[in-house]
Structure 1
Amino acid sequence: MSVHGNSLTVRRYLTFATGLVECLCFAGAVFGWASLVFVLKTEGYFSSLCVNTTAVNATQVLDCSGQDEQFSLVFTIASFMNNFLTLPSGFLFDQFGTTVARLFGTFLYTMGTLMVAFSTAALSNLLFPAISLLAAGGILFLMTNMQVGNLFGSRRSTIITLYNGAFDSSSALFLVIKLLHEAGVSLRSSLIFLSSCSVIHLLRTFFLLPRDHIPYPLPDDYTYGITCGKSKSLISANGNSPKTKEEMILNKDVPVKQEKSFRECLMSRLFVWHTVWLSVMQLRHYLFIGTLNPMLQRLTAGEPSLVSQYINAFAITQLCGVFCAPWNGLIIDRLKGKPRAEGESEQEVDLRATVLSLFLTVLQCVLFSVCAATPYLPLQYLTYILQVINRSFLYGGNAAFLSVAFPSCHFGKLYGLVMALSAVFSLLQYPFFALVNGPLGGDPLYVNIGLTLLSLLAFIHPLSVFLHCRSLASQRAINASS
């Protein structure tokens, strides 16, 4: 291998490694909300909403359900923004390329960390825009990093799911901040340091990522980064002309004559049921994370040290997301490697390979939901394990499915749209939380049972994909016999 080839290989692995660190340490921090809430409560955020009430035995107790509801609202809005803004972010990424998208994401993320750093108990409402900006910036980091899978060919699905797992594991960032806070480091100092880490994002943007997109399939001697000319990053060694933007999206190329229009993709059963599949399971996860703190308060009878112990355990399990997610990609990549049937296209093979992944994801969600609905404190350790595995499979499987089921030129828009639609559906978490705190008297049992039953609806999606693949196979058989 030439010196130039060695340099390209080193750069690609460095891009992969630093992207993994970026997703692992920053991108999905907002989902460590339970750890941050513990710190914010200690600092007195929204404490004015706690009121003295008289208990059944005539003793005075402090009722902080209003405070919990306000924290839940902050997370509801932030998680909504995390997904809904994926739609304009997808258009921004498709239209203007990696550099513009990452600069905008870095700006949002830095503003969010600074706003949390300079918020106080008296300025508790500053959390609403701050956490939303953190979420929106983080999703742009993930979106611009997923294309790195294109640099590694046959391992593409594994890398996409690995990055999504790292995104989930980054929720442990707020656990680190919580532990530092307990050790005497102020919340402001931790967040200011986090803001200064934006320099890392800028260096990666200019030195280790392309200005536009990483194409797939990858041209020979493809190069990128600030040291390479713009034309050099887009032209292969054999002198072929630059690929169009449509050819450089995360998806695999599909022949022009077989491409569906964006409208046809939206109206297809595959897209509709995939949106339902993602939405119902995402709602289950969001409600679990948003109500974890008050749920633990109830199961531990308000014992602060026990609540802290279980929150730490939850945050630590989130670190395992980066180890769980690649299994989903490995399942897909392994099934894709099976021999094709006669006349079967590569896209059909890829689509058939996702069926097992989609089914396993729903099965995990149902098991996780059953455990979460069981009011037995020690069982929550198992709940945490199932939750992190399922989240890793859910988001990695979402990106992997869209990358093989639809034409490449629509990937960014479809990825953004399915996340935006699921975000609208996730707004149901707030009325569910209000229902638990109000008419249900703080007991989430019936809501948890309802959400478990709702999760069963997601089984329709893998069944739909399986029947679609069978239909394509039958059509091939008819064509072959005629």
Structure 2
Amino acid sequence: MTTDIIPIISISRRYSNKEKLIQVICSIIWCLLGSGVIFGFASLKPILIKEGVYSFLCSPESELPFGKACDNQDLKLNKLFSYGATMTNLTSLVVGRLLDSYGPKVCGYIGCLLITLGSIILSYNQVLYQYFDAYIVGYVILAVGGPFVFISCFQLANTFPKYSGTILALISGAFDTSSAVFLFYRLAYENGFSNINLHVFFKYYLVVPLFIFLCQWKIMPSQSYKNNGSDSKEDTLGDIQKLAIEGLDGNGELPLGSSTSKTGATEDLENSEENDELLDNQSIISSKTLSNRRKSKIEIVTEQQLYKKSKGIFGVMHRFSASEQIKSGWYILIQIFTIICMLRINYFVATVRSQHEYLLGSYEQALRINNIFDIALPLGGVIAIPLIGLLLDNISTLYVLYILFSTSVLVGVLGLIKNSFFASCLGIVILTMYRPFYYTVVSDYCSKVFGFETFGTVYGLLMTLAGLCNLAQNKLDYWTHFVFNKNPIPINFALTLITLVSGTSLLVYINMHINKRHIEQISKLTYGSA
């Protein structure tokens, strides 16, 4: 009796290149239309005000121009975005787990259902408001649906491993640009189509989840794409990060169709003295993974090269479990910095008009700034994505963190300047490009510092806690309106100061530890050669 050995076939081989290309294109389209629309809140807010949403909170004596909200109405509207942004981040951790356990199709269907439900609630808000706050509930459900249809697309980077970076950039760019959906709605609403009220818009918006449903049903894979026959389901997002940063699959091998890793290493390592030196010196980079898998030669060489390129940051916590990583200063300090940066970004998005009404001393000027921001937000993401790629590919991780920190402080300082339309515009342009830069750098940091095997857990927790703390935005908004008499400078100053302290602490900590690690390495080499 003979036993035939049946090789594991990668799911990517079940589809032709044409089918895989269609899958990637469809995912980009639905990410563009449905993954991050809630971040276009600054564009939607003027429509909500003109449609009288929460106008009952204003006193009858209030004499405000049409389209301007009273304080209580403004605070209530801003809660829509605050809760929506918080739930977007909280959902990310859940999506990662579901993606590993049930695959991208299930995540896609869940996202489709949530976007449908959120759209229906927002469309029939007046009927449903007598039973619950349909605006907040609908907006939050719409926000929760976004990560399900967005994160489940990351595995498509494995459809064409050679172009994985490009695919991830296109998907991420589509997410950033999706805020333009509400921008186009506002432009239509304010230019002769005011009959397209919330009921009509969200009724037609149901076409988006319908499109996602048809794509999931007819063309999308049930399981995440894996390379070289890998059938691991432990951390799909970690494998994607490994592919993007190292150019290697979850087994530490070159993906099908690739001849070199991201650092230029090849499987032919015998003729390179530099590679021999890197293979001989494995005290920096372990020869085994956290799960005790022995690393391939090309994996070791690639990681040693990344260690050098990152100025000693890569691999610093790879040997530790997720629980040990979370207790370290490497995690705690980036968590604090991430919380404050996310809080600043989302606070600005929700209050851009009211802030500049005070800073510029003019409601009309504030409207102009709001209009510029509405256009710059999606456009900034598109422009920033290739620039971010160039920075990460050509500059060490440590210097990238310096750039992120400097940009964070600069944005904060520009938010303190009064009576300068130029400073306000410059701050908006920088912020809209800083937003995707911040998210990408934090993700890159987690991959390189904590490793790919724990990436889903560590990065998910990082974003979840940052999302929870984002609820403090409501309190900051209240203080701005009623404690500081609509003056945003005290809050902006405090946030900038905390950014300065937390960012400096992170960079000092990193420099101390990589210098210590470098000295220990020199001592070992000196002792070994003595």
Structure 2 length normalisation: TM-score?
Answer: 0.74
Paired position in structure 2 for 1:479: 524
Paired position in structure 1 for 2:335: 275
Q: Distance in 2 between matches of 1:9 and 1:466?
A: 46
Matched, 1:70 2:76: yes
Q: Distance in 2 between matches of 1:444 and 1:117?
A: 33
Report deviation, 1:12: 4.1
Report deviation, 1:317: 0.5
Secondary structure in structure 1 of the residue aligned to 2:49: helix
Q: Which blocks of at least 5 consecutive residues in structure 2 are unaligned?
A: 1-11, 243-249, 251-287, 293-317
Change (3 A) 1:382 1:277: same
Matched to 1:434, the amino acid is Y
Paired position in structure 2 for 1:108: 114
Structure in which a larger fraction of residues adopt helix = 1
- Preserved CA contact (<8 Å) 1:161 1:328: no
Matched, 1:193 2:182: no
Change (3 A) 1:332 1:210: farther
The 5 Å alignment of 1:80-229 reads 80-120=86-126, 123=129, 125-153=133-161, 156=164, 159-182=167-190, 183-184=192-193, 185-206=196-217, 209-215=220-226, 218-219=227-228
Larger radius of gyration: 2
Q: Which blocks of at least 5 consecutive residues in structure 1 are unaligned?
A: 56-61, 220-234, 236-241, 336-352
Matched to 2:398, the amino acid is V
- Preserved CA contact (<8 Å) 1:359 1:459: no
Matched to 2:343, the amino acid is L
Q: Distance in 2 between matches of 1:475 and 1:113?
A: 58
Q: Distance in 2 between matches of 1:66 and 1:415?
A: 36
Change (3 A) 1:404 1:141: farther
Percent identity of paired positions between Structure 1 and Structure 2? 23
Change (3 A) 1:448 1:70: same
RMSD of the TM alignment (CA)? 2.9
- Preserved CA contact (<8 Å) 1:72 1:430: yes
Change (3 A) 1:133 1:54: closer
Please, which of 365, 373, 377 is the counterpart of residue 318 of structure 1? 377
Report deviation, 1:293: 2.9
Paired position in structure 2 for 1:245: 233
Secondary structure in structure 2 of the residue aligned to 1:68: helix
Change (3 A) 1:210 1:465: farther
Change (3 A) 1:285 1:193: same
Q: Distance in 1 between matches of 2:14 and 2:394?
A: 28
Please, which of 388, 393, 397 is the counterpart of residue 432 of structure 2? 388
Q: Distance in 1 between matches of 2:177 and 2:141?
A: 19
- Preserved CA contact (<8 Å) 2:354 2:366: no
Change (3 A) 1:194 1:377: farther
Change (3 A) 1:463 1:103: farther
Please, which of 405, 413, 416 is the counterpart of residue 373 of structure 1? 416
Matched to 1:167, the amino acid is F
Change (3 A) 1:104 1:50: same
Matched to 2:54, the amino acid is F
Report deviation, 1:102: 1.7
| Count of residue pairs the alignment pairs up | 432
The 5 Å alignment of 1:453-464 reads 453-456=497-500, 457-464=502-509
Paired position in structure 1 for 2:355: 295
- Preserved CA contact (<8 Å) 1:158 1:326: no
Report deviation, 1:63: 7.7
Secondary structure in structure 2 of the residue aligned to 1:250: helix
- Which is bigger in relative contact order (C-alpha 8 A, separation at least 6)? 1
User: What do residues 37-57 of structure 1 show as CA deviations (whole Å, max 9, x unaligned)?
Assistant: 1001000011111125589xx
Q: Distance in 2 between matches of 1:54 and 1:48?
A: 11
Secondary structure in structure 1 of the residue aligned to 2:137: helix
- Preserved CA contact (<8 Å) 1:78 1:131: yes
Matched, 1:416 2:460: yes
Matched to 1:21, the amino acid is I
- Preserved CA contact (<8 Å) 1:160 1:329: no
Matched, 1:355 2:415: no
User: What do residues 344-373 of structure 1 show as CA deviations (whole Å, max 9, x unaligned)?
Assistant: xxxxxxxxx432332222222221122222
Change (3 A) 1:214 1:416: same
